[in-house]
Amino acid sequence: MRCEEDYQAGLGLGDNAEAIVRSRLVYTAYALVKFIDSRDSELRFRNFRIRQISSRGDIEDALALFPGARINGTDWLYERAYQDSEVAKSAYGFGRIPGDVEDTLLLLRLYRPGDIIFTRHSIREPSGALSIQFPQRIATEITTTSFFRFSQTECDDWDDFKSELTASQSWESRWFKIARRFFLYGGAKEFNPEWGDVDRVVDYMIALEAMLVPERGYGIGQRLRKRAVTLLGLRDDAGKDAERFLGAFYEVRSTLVHGSPLAVRHEKALKQMRQFELLVRRVVVAALRQIPPDEDSRKKQLAGLYDVPLKALVQEAARLLKEIEERL
CB-CB contact of 207 with 179 (8 Å): yes
Q: What is the pLDDT of residues 261-303, one digit of tens each?
A: 999 999 999 999 999 999 999 999 999 999 999 999 999 999 9
The values of phi and psi at residue 322, to 5°, are -60, -40
Please give the average per-residue pLDDT across 170-196, as a whole number.
95
Residue 322: pLDDT band by 50, 70, 90 thresholds?
A: low
CB-CB contact of 51 with 77 (8 Å): yes
Annotate 58-97 with DSSP letters as a single string: HHHHHHHHSTT----TT-EEEEEEEEHHHH--BTTB-TTH
Q: Using CA atoms, how far apart are residues 230 and 248, in angstroms rounded to an integer? A: 18
CB-CB contact of 164 with 64 (8 Å): no
Q: Give the pTM.
A: 0.87
Q: What is the pLDDT of residues 85-136, one digit of tens each?
A: 888 777 668 889 999 999 999 999 999 999 999 999 999 999 999 999 876 7
- What single letter denotes the amino acid at residue 25? L
Better-scored residue on pLDDT, 46 or 324: 46
